[in-house]
Amino acid sequence: MKIFSVFLLLFALSACLEMKQKEYHADFEKMETSLNTMQKIGETVDSSKAREVLIAHQDLIDSLKAKYTSDTISVTMAQHIENIKYTIYCLQHFFQNYAAFGDLNMKKTEVEKLKKMISNGDGNRENYDELMQKEKDSISNLKNNFEELLHYYTEGTRDFSASEQFLKSELNA
């Protein structure tokens, strides 16, 4: 009877561990999919284009400040200036937080290490749930930062050629 109880206990523990492994595996797939999606989107970001736009727009605003010392400008001109200033604002925020792109590769490595550790049964198994939750939270934060970064990039590189042309013509007038 004791042997049967021990066997039953071992079987129950084995089944629980296997169920937990499947749960971890599903979580790892979600995390890896999320990281891969962010990486693919990040590869479409052209930081050199963003830098060129930022410099060109800053130069345009500086030239306007040098030429127009009066407080009075037309509403149309003010709107075009605001468009250009908006792109500058967005691109400055983009470059301040640009490191999030580099964090993707580091995070992928961390997830792979944790996946290997759990698959091999290394470390303290009691901490697995806590470690998984930390990685999920970390990826969630990274995703939020990434989405914000992408928003600033998209807004900063928006086509304001009409505003640029208008302001350049005002400078040359």
**Domain definitions of the chain by residue range:** 19-172
Positions in the chain whose pLDDT score sits under 70: 1-19
**Which residue is listed with tokens 């928006």?**
158
In the chain, what is the straight-line distance between the N-terminal and C-terminal CA atoms, in Å?
A: 101
Pair 96, 149: CB distance under 8 Å? no
pLDDT the model gives residue 67: 87
* Pairwise CA distance, residues 81 & 85, whole Å: 6
Q: Tens of pLDDT along 76-91? A: 999 999 999 999 999 9
Dihedral angle, C-alpha 140, 146, 116, 130, nearest 10 °: -20
pLDDT the model gives residue 14: 46
